[in-house]
């Protein structure tokens, strides 16, 4: 099987370029890593996340599949039981549901139901979330559906560096990982990323900014607005701790609870709708583990409990900087 | 208008309902040792089956799907596959499992509510029983693709029922097998029933085998109660797969002689006459008659085989009944390779709730 030597370079890259960099690195390091999906080989993926892989590693390891998401999920599972490490792309999260039965009933359960005889070291990648004026079914954030399923890890990067390090960790992880890429910030920022093959830890929150007055808990594209809100609030003298949850399941409750114990206040920000969202699990964990430290109720800033509006109105659905500032002002006043 | 393609579906049968061959038999019939081993496996499977149903009826096993009527095709699969091939089963493949190396005790553990029933010691790469209908077809093409990516001369056999062929998983998988020229054999065990839904309601297609044509694959029908027809079809399809010539769909026509599972009552939806007619085509009796007619079998041999199979099953049942359940903490111990810190408190909760065992 083809393997390519890869030198260590440092480049300024976008989030989607960091995904591509990690895929190149993982495939060069391990001949068992294969990539499959719709339009991913010759076309390099509709977002170009897989560009250059076919040229570097050949069509045997970089496979354009027929247009069938259920098949993509199930095929990856079969490959994984043979010890390959498939990274399968769902073109948009809105199309992942056809693969749901395979993900829930097989990928998540294979190790448990065979008592470790077989397992699924695979990654299901999907761009998700709104904000790019995409057609219907292309903008939802349904990470909570997967966070609810035992046996899955749900990982969401929010910067080029974390995209690189977390995707490498997901590919090397011996269990299935749902890797959701916030496409709104695919090209929003560039960051210097060293292609050194170093993974970042899974199951761990990243504290992006330390603060004393309130803990802002978020993930994915909303990290951008949350950091901007923290800047504005700093001007008003409010010191925000900002935590990127990154692995939304299993949840790193310890980091969250320690932070809330220090600040006494928590505001949760996510793009997904509120009802049954991951924010509800975070809020419940804080209520169970840090109730006596709280000086104010936990507040959520989220999408609404409705169908994601078409793009003319999507900005009214997505949490905005002012919404976050307002929520913090509300809990600080208490 | 001109015809641009012509398709055909062939059907094979060598033995009549009484085990008489109206014509010439395939070369497989000359291998007496293999035929006798096949007969033994069919009898062992049927002996196990009636015992498993009895255990369920007496509260010693959970809901169990009878294999009655599937013994011949399962045996042909088990005999045709190389050890290094991978079997991707559904839930009525007991006859094939036994030849692959799954123990009777493991089968009882699975249906008796114990995950260790899929921790198969002797065929570590075979996929576990798939309960969600047809989903295993996608795994089969994934396993076959892995073999092809690694240039291995191995093949996959995937089983599915007639009802399962109505699902997209089957159609998507045969489609990929055709597009990627994968070394896989799909065996559709058409037993006429998907619980209570008859074959005629599953599809307007005259045969299930013809669905293969839409995927660019050969589709072949065999009498699934004719050991020689079934084993020849399996051998041919596996030769094709091992020879890099791609996938095959075999429709093995049989009849589900039992209820769907022990929770089902088939008298609600099918007649006693239908069942009686199906029993007249029973493949085990057919092969027994052939063995007898050709001087390979006798009432004494039958008696001693029945006794041996009964004893083998009894020993497996004793072992199964003697096994303690796993500690309850096992429900978390195999979820991930390493239990995430977030789940540790729940494991401790289970351990303290059921303190006493070695948790």
pLDDT tens per residue across span B328-348: 999 999 999 999 999 999 999
Residue of chain B minimizing CA distance to A201: B340
Helix, strand or coil, per DSSP, at residue A212? coil
pLDDT of B153-170, one tens digit each?
999 999 999 999 999 999
pLDDT of residue A2: 47
3-state DSSP call for residue B6?
Answer: coil
A217 neighbors A185 (Cβ within 8 angstroms)? no
Give residue B353's pLDDT.
86
Judge whether residue B324 has pLDDT over 50: yes
For an interface test with B, which of A1, A78, A115 has the most B Cβ atoms less than 10 Å from its Cβ?
A: A78
d(C-alpha B263, C-alpha A165), whole Å: 50
Three-state secondary structure call for residue A272: strand
Per-residue 3-state assignment (H helix, E strand, C coil) for A28-78: HHCCCEEEEECCCCCCCCCCCCCCCHHHHHCCCCEEECCCCHHHHHHHHHH
d(CA A30, CA A263): 44
Cα gap B282→B70, rounded to integer Å: 10
Contacts of A289 in chain B (CB under 8 A): none
| Nearest by CB: B149 against A60, A76, A110 | A60
Inter-chain CB proximity A111 and B336 less than 8 Å = yes
Give the whole-angstrom CA distance, residue A95 versus residue A45: 15
Decide if B172 and A71 are in contact by the 8 Å CB cutoff. yes
Phi and psi torsions of B202, nearest 5°: -75, -35
Compare CB distances from A84 to B138, B146, B336 and report the shortest one's residue: B146
Indicate the DSSP class of residue B355: B
- Shortest alpha-carbon distance between residue A59 and chain B (Å): 10
Q: Which residue has the higher pLDDT, A6 or B185?
A: B185
Q: Quick one: what percent of chain B has pLDDT higher than 90?
A: 98
Q: How far apart are CA A170 and CA A167, in angstroms?
A: 5
CB-based contact B127 A81, cutoff 8 Å: yes
Residues of B near A (Cβ–Cβ under 8 Å) read 86, 88, 115-116, 118-120, 124-125, 127-128, 130, 132, 135, 137-150, 168-169, 172-173, 175-176, 179, 330-331, 334-337, 340-343
The chain-wide mean pLDDT, for chain B, equals 97
Q: Is the peptide bond before A202 cis (omega within 30 degrees of 0)?
A: no
From first to last of its 334 residues, what are the pLDDT tens digits of chain A? 444 568 889 999 999 999 999 999 999 999 999 999 999 999 999 999 999 999 999 999 999 999 999 999 999 999 999 999 999 999 999 999 999 999 999 999 999 999 999 999 999 999 999 999 999 999 999 999 999 999 999 999 999 999 999 999 999 999 999 999 999 999 999 999 999 999 999 999 999 999 999 999 999 999 999 999 999 999 999 999 999 999 999 999 999 999 999 999 999 999 999 999 999 999 999 999 999 999 999 999 999 999 999 999 999 999 999 999 999 999 999 7
pLDDT digits (tens, 9 = 90+) for B39-75: 999 999 999 999 999 999 999 999 999 999 999 999 9
- The span from the CA of A60 to the CA of A36, in Å, is 10
Q: φ and ψ at B263, to 5 degrees?
A: -90, 0
In this prediction, residue A281 carries a pLDDT of 98
Task: Give B138 to chain A, closest Cα distance, Å.
Answer: 5
pLDDT digits (tens, 9 = 90+) for B77-136: 999 999 999 999 999 999 999 999 999 999 999 999 999 999 999 999 999 999 999 999
Residue B355 confidence (pLDDT) above 90: no
Global ipTM: 0.96
DSSP code of residue A105: I
Name chain B contacts of A70, Cβ cutoff 8 Å.
138, 168-169, 172
Chain A residues touching B115 at Cβ < 8 A? 112-115
Chain A interface test: which of B119, B124, B139, B169 (most A C-beta within 10 Å): B139
Encoded tokens for A214: 């309130």
**What's the distance, CA B108 to chain centroid?**
16
Chain A partners of B342 at a C-beta cutoff of 8 Å?
203, 250-253
In this prediction, residue B356 carries a pLDDT of 57
Q: Which of B111, B179, B334, B349 to mutate to test the interface with A (most CBs of A within 10 A)?
A: B334
| CA separation for the pair A75, A326 (Å, rounded) | 47
Tokens matching residue B324: 């303690």
Q: To the nearest whole angstrom, how far is the Cα of B325 from the nearest Cα of chain A?
A: 14
- pLDDT greater than 70 at residue B357: no
């Amino acid at each position: 099987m083809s393997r390519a030597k890869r030198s260590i370079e440092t480049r300024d890259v976008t989030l989607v370029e960091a995904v591509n960099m990690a895929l190149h690195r993982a495939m060069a390091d391990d001949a068992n890593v294969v990539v499959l999906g719709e339009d991913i080989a010759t076309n390099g993926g509709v977002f170009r996340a897989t560009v250059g892989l076919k040229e570097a590693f050949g069509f045997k390891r970089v496979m354009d599949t027929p247009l069938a998401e259920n098949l993509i999920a199930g095929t990856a599972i079969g490959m994984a039981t043979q010890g390959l490490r498939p990274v399968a792309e769902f073109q948009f999260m809105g199309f992942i549901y056809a693969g749901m039965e395979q993900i829930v009933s097989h990928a998540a359960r294979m190790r448990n139901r065979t008592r470790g005889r077989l397992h699924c070291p695979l990654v299901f990648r999907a761009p998700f979330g709104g904000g790019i004026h995409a057609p219907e079914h292309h903008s939802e954030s349904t990470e909570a559906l997967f966070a609810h399923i035992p046996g899955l890890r749900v990982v969401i990067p929010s910067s080029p560096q974390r995209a690189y390090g977390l995707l490498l960790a997901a590919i090397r992880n011996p269990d299935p990982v749902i890797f959701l890429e916030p496409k709104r910030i695919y090209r929003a920022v560039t960051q210097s990323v060293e292609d050194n093959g170093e993974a970042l830890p899974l199951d761990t929150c990243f504290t992006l900014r330390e603060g004393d007055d309130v803990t802002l808990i978020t993930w994915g594209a909303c990290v951008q607005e949350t950091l901007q809100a923290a800047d504005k609030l700093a001007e008003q003298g409010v010191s925000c701790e900002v935590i990127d949850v990154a692995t939304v399941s299993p949840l790193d409750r310890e980091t969250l609870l320690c932070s809330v114990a220090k600040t006494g206040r928590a505001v949760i920000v996510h793009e997904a709708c509120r009802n049954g969202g991951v924010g509800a699990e975070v809020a419940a964990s804080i209520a169970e583990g840090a109730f006596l430290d709280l000086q104010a109720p936990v507040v959520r800033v989220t999408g609404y409990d409705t169908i994601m509006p078409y793009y003319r109105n999507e900005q009214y659905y997505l949490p905005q900087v002012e919404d976050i500032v307002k929520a913090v002002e509300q809990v600080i006043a208490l | 208008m001109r015809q641009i393609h012509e398709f055909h579906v062939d059907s094979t049968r060598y033995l009549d309902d009484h085990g008489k061959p109206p014509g010439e038999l395939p070369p497989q019939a000359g291998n007496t040792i293999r035929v006798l081993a096949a007969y033994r496996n069919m009898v062992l499977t049927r002996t196990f089956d009636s015992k498993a149903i009895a255990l369920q009826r007496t509260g010693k096993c959970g809901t169990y799907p009878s294999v009655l009527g599937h013994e011949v095709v399962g045996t042909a699969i088990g005999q045709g596959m190389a050890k290094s091939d991978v079997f991707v089963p559904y839930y009525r493949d007991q006859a094939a499992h036994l030849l692959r190396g799954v123990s009777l005790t493991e089968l009882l553990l699975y249906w008796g509510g114990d995950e260790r029933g899929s921790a198969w010691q002797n065929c570590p790469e075979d996929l576990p029983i798939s309960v969600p209908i047809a989903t295993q077809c996608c795994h089969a093409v994934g396993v076959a693709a892995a073999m092809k990516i690694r240039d291995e001369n191995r093949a996959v056999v995937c089983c599915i029922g007639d009802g399962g062929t109505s699902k997209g998983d089957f159609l998507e998988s045969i489609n990929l097998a055709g597009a990627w020229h994968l070394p896989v054999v799909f065996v559709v065990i058409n037993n006429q029933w998907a619980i209570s839904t008859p074959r005629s309601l599953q599809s307007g297609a005259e045969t299930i085998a013809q669905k293969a044509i839409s995927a660019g694959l050969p589709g072949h029908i065999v009498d699934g109660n004719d050991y020689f027809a079934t084993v020849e079809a399996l051998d041919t399809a596996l030769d094709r797969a091992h020879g890099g010539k791609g996938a095959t769909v075999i429709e093995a026509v049989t009849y589900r002689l039992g209820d769907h599972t022990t929770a089902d009552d088939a008298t609600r939806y099918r007649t006693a006459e239908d069942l009686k007619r199906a029993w007249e085509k029973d493949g085990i009796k057919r092969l027994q008659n052939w063995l007898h007619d050709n001087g390979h079998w006798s009432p004494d041999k039958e008696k001693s085989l029945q006794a041996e199979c009964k004893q083998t099953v009894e020993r497996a049942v004793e072992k199964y009944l003697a096994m303690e359940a796993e500690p309850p903490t096992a429900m978390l111990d195999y979820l991930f390779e390493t239990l995430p810190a977030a789940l540790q408190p729940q494991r401790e909760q289970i351990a303290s709730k059921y303190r006493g065992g070695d948790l």
